[in-house]
A = this chain, B = another copy of it.
Amino acid sequence: MSWLDVPVDHPFGPATLPYGVFSTAADPHPRVGVAIGHQIIDLPAAVRRLAPGLASAVAGPSLNALLAAGPAVWAEVRAQLTTWVTEEVYRDLLGGHLVAAGDAVMHLPFTVADYVDFYASEQHATNLGRILRPGQEPLTANWKHLPIGYHGRAGTVVVSGTDIVRPSGQRPLFGPSQRLDIEAELGFVVGVPSTLGQPVPLTSFDQHVFGVCLVNDWSARDIQAFEYVPLGPFLGKSFATSISPWIVPLAALDHARVAPPERTVPLQPYLDDEKTPSWGLDVHLEVRLNGHVISTPSFDTMYWTGAQMMAHLTVNGASLRTGDLYASGTISGGSPGSLIELSWNGQEPLLLPDGSARAFLEDGDEVVISATAPGAGGATIGLGEVRGRVVG
């Protein structure tokens, strides 16, 4: 319990302490904030008063300085924050640096360096294989040997709340996409860069990755279908990718770590995590379409962990940069994280409680993906939400 009257099971209670970038009408400069209940701590202002040695790590209009500062500083900032929100003596000291979340505008929390999208859910890959290649083995031959991934467009990663303009393209007839879809994913945010030519072992995951966010990887299935052979998705994905405004540090997910599903083929040593602490994560998502819950996928079903994705991404010597974002791919264990699966390629439209039916998204539709994970002592760790509305 915090003197802020935020109960421990509140998604943004004292065990979560996620980082974002906000501004207010009173002070329109984007700056780093920490969510606590329905309030935001103005972190640079609080640090100036309470921990001036940390000022440079939380300065600037994005989280990039904090991301680059590395694990020791991440731990120190979190320890300070935990003290401030739990010890009554800080009531007066911190009080002047709190902003009502409702008064804040949230910004893209960090400058995205490279954006990679994986394909790490066995359920999703199997569903898409069955839908797109009926009669064949649903998983490709490589799928259980490596986490398949591809690079997406970093410049069109947008913060939750940004309207999504329906893309046009060759389907193969030219026109607005008629099969606009969502993909509910977890994103990993890289803090500490690595050296070109040097693979990063999976045991170094928490030395490089700062935290996680929610990702909606909007997808135009008709544009993608015509373009993607032989070089993969391009315009079917590049028009927009939405992320949640709050980055939850890995430290908040300590109690959500679980063993990943049993691996059914032996892994190369650089991917073998059997003898290392698991980075499976017990994160539960909820996907709402126009207010109605349409799916509740669970990240603990993912075949590949975030640590394995990082190890794979760098095993060829590719380097990490501060602000790299890599997403898990659609999470479809528990229930599917995309409409193409939920409506089985549009053949079985979803019936919504308001009486309407959806195979794919219509103009005006709003999708909200939220998530929580278990914390210590019954605490709830909230990942917040990623929200977007389709405009024609």
A142 to B233, alpha carbons, bound, how many Å? 13
A232-B228 in contact (CB<8A): yes
Contact B114 A154 (CB under 8 A): yes
The residue from B172, B231, B270 contacting A232, defined by CB atoms under 8 A apart: B231
Q: Which residues of B contact A324 (CB under 8 A)?
A: 155
Residue of A233, A235, A324 with most partner-chain B CB within 10 A: A235
Task: Name the CB-closest residue of B to A163.
Answer: B197
* Residue in contact with A223 in the complex, picked from B155, B269, B316, CB distance below 8 Å: B316
Known: A153-B151, A197-B165, A268-B170. A229 touches B318 (CB 8 A): no
Asked if A113 is at the interface (CB within 8 A of a chain B CB), the reply is yes
Complex CA distance for A296 and B235, rounded to whole angstroms: 32
Find chain B residues with CB under 8 A from A223 CB. 316
- A172-215 interface code vs B (CB 8 A; 1 in, 0 out): 10100000000000000000000011010000000000000000
Contact: A227 with B146, CB < 8 Å? yes
Known: A153-B114, A170-B268, A318-B156. A229 touches B196 (CB 8 A): no
Which of the listed residues A149, A196, A312 has the most CB atoms from chain B within 10 Å of its own CB? A196
Say yes or no: is A226 at the interface (Cβ < 8 Å to chain B). yes
- Taking CB atoms and an 8 Å cut-off, the chain A residues in 267-324 that contact chain B are 268-270, 312-313, 315-321, 324
Nearest chain B CB to A168 CB, angstrom units? 6
Interchain CA distance A146-B174 in the complex, whole Å: 11
Q: How far, in angstroms, from A315 to B158 measured CA to CA in the complex? A: 18
- How would residues 229 to 240 of chain A score, 1 for a CB under 8 Å from any chain B CB and 0 otherwise? 111111110111
The A146-168 residues at the B interface (CB cut-off 8 A) are 146, 148-156, 158, 165, 167-168
Contact flags (1/0) for A216-255 with B, using CB distance below 8 Å?
Answer: 0000100100111111111110111000000000000000
| Alpha-carbon gap, A231 to B165, bound state (A) | 24
Cβ–Cβ < 8 Å partners of A146 in chain B: 170, 226-227
* Binding site secondary structure of chain A: loop
A167 to B198, CA, bound (A): 10
Q: Across the interface, name the chain B residue whose C-beta is closest to A236.
A: B316
Question: Nearest B residue to A158 by beta-carbon distance?
Answer: B196
Taking a contact as CB atoms under 8 Å apart, the answer to whether A231 and B149 are in contact is yes
Specify which of B196, B236, B269 is in contact with A156 (CB 8 Å cutoff): B196
CB distance from A95 to the nearest CB of B (A): 39
Which 5 pairs between the two chains have the least Cβ-Cβ distance?
Answer: A232-B232, A167-B316, A165-B197, A151-B151, A150-B231
A/B interface sample: 5 pairs, CB < 8 A: A142-B170, A148-B230, A155-B320, A223-B316, A235-B312
Not counting A142-B172, A145-B172, A146-B226, a sample of 19 additional A-B residue pairs whose C-beta atoms are within 8 angstroms of each other reads A113-B154, A145-B170, A150-B231, A151-B152, A151-B238, A154-B154, A156-B196, A167-B317, A168-B199, A169-B315, A169-B316, A174-B269, A228-B230, A228-B231, A232-B232, A235-B312, A235-B318, A238-B316, A240-B317
